[in-house]
Structure 1
Amino acid sequence: MGSPTNINPRIVEGLYCEALVLSDEVRQAFSLSGRLEAVSGYEDAATIALSCEALRTTTRMMHSVAWLLNHRAFFNGELSEFQLHRYGKLVDHPESDPARLALIEPETRSLIEATERFHARLKRIDASWRERDPNAPSAVAALRERLTRSARG
């Protein structure tokens, strides 16, 4: 079984724990009961901004967790590398609209930005893994070749 470049089970588990914490914070931040009534000033615009960013942020985190679950399944032998490559691509999401973010309270805005940074990290890892040379030997094959060369002297 191959191994995605720049990623290993420990990294995936750490990112998965971080994703769960962020997802819980997102759920708490966008639990709308009572919050919409408290919005002052630009009620309609603020309500729309909060709703749009809630949907965008929860979707971003849902796809992040799904990507991590696919990698966990791969490392547990439940998915092949082919299946991971084919079905485990991280969905790209546009960043939040600055005009909408301006209407949202600073704590929630900071959380939204944290989810964007987290998703960007996963995108870099995913892109790095997908850019590797498919004809390059696996880590095990490369190690075997090094051992063979060193044994020959």
Structure 2
Amino acid sequence: MKIQYNLPCNIAQTLNIIGDKWSLLILNQLFDGRETYKEIQDGLEGIPTNLLSERLKSLETNKLIVKKLYQTHPPRYKYILTEMGCDLVDVFNSFILWGEKHLNKCCNTLVHKYCNGKVEHKYYFPNCDSYLEASELCVIQNEKISEV
């Protein structure tokens, strides 16, 4: 993906990596356990094959996924989330929670896997062992900003 945003902002820089059409949905397929090109394609009705290939290469270049050979003749690969890719789970869960609250037609609910109780988002501050409200948070700009 070409760089769209040249701003000193974490959101803009993250969007440069995963903000293009289909990338988040491809990552979501991987979170859902689909690993092969065919499984991902089948889960994303309407994605052109050339675009899926391009997005998978971009996600690999950006170290969110790795490609592993699982069959040699013909060569077939599976796609696996890296640790960096797996770290997006909280972002995906936040999308689900936001959707539960704001979408007219909510397709998913985030629940505890053992008791099915609904989940709510909290910010934990370990320095004082307490939970904070979003209104108690602020974003500060780091003094040393590397080149964007």
Higher percent of residues as helix: 1
Higher percent of residues as strand: 2
Higher gyration radius (CA):
1
Fold shared by both chains (TM-score > 0.5): no
Query: What's the TM-score once normalised by structure 2's chain length?
Result: 0.24
